[in-house]
Amino acid sequence: MDTAYHNPELLKRGKAPQRYRGVTYIRPIDAAKAAVPVIDLADRLTGPCGLRRRGAEWVGHCPLPDHEDKSPSFAANAEKNVWYCHGCHRGGDVVALARLAWGYSEREAHIAAAELLMEFGHELPNRPKAWYRKRERQVNIRNAIEETKKGIVRRRLFRHLILPLIDTIEDEDERNRELERAWADFERLTA
């Protein structure tokens, strides 16, 4: 857990490059921290009028999906560029907020950082391959679900609309030929 918000020592240390797995991960994380202010992401996550000014801080309901925040426990400090939630006791920099808000693990911080950069219209410093792979997998699964649903609808329509017509053909061979042709046509036309 990152408690940089309350601990000035940690805050200072946070400025030094952190160790992540692999050199390529560091760049999107550092780039996101430099490009996206904590307050901008907090503002987007909490929605319009989600944050109110209280002294040096902006306070609102915690935007993290696993914290049902009844009282406004979330605070972001624009000057220090950090956030902390007094309800779920989590805090840190903009990448930590993005990661927790979008459900990425600590090892996936670089993916959250890349998404953060894209979300706020910044160029990616390099290509985080894992992010693309993950995106691609999600798109493939969505497409597969759509195709499966289409197939079910298509077969049901065929059974109810077309089959009764073919069933009236008395000759079995002709009926089977017609069935094949009709299904091929139907599949092509409803694709």
Interface residues toward Zn ion, by CB under 5 A: 62, 64, 67, 85, 87-88
Q: How far is the CB of 88 from Zn ion (least distance, A)?
A: 3
Q: How far is the CB of 29 from Zn ion (least distance, A)?
A: 22
Q: In DSSP terms, which residues pair with 18 in a beta bridge? A: none
Query: Do 122 and 27 form a contact (C-beta atoms < 8 A)?
Result: no
Closest CB to Zn ion among 5 and 25? 5
Q: How far is the CB of 102 from Zn ion (least distance, A)?
A: 15
Cβ partners under 8 Å of residue 92, min gap 6: 2, 3, 4, 5, 14, 82, 83
Residue 63 DSSP code: -
**DSSP SS3 for 62:** coil
Closest CB to Zn ion among 19 and 70? 70
End-to-end alpha carbon distance in the chain: 50
Closest CB to Zn ion among 58 and 131? 58
Q: How far is the CB of 81 from Zn ion (least distance, A)?
A: 18
Q: In DSSP terms, which residues pair with 54 in a beta bridge? A: 57
Closest CB to Zn ion among 64 and 114? 64
Instruction: Tell me which residue has tokens 């049901």.
Output: 156
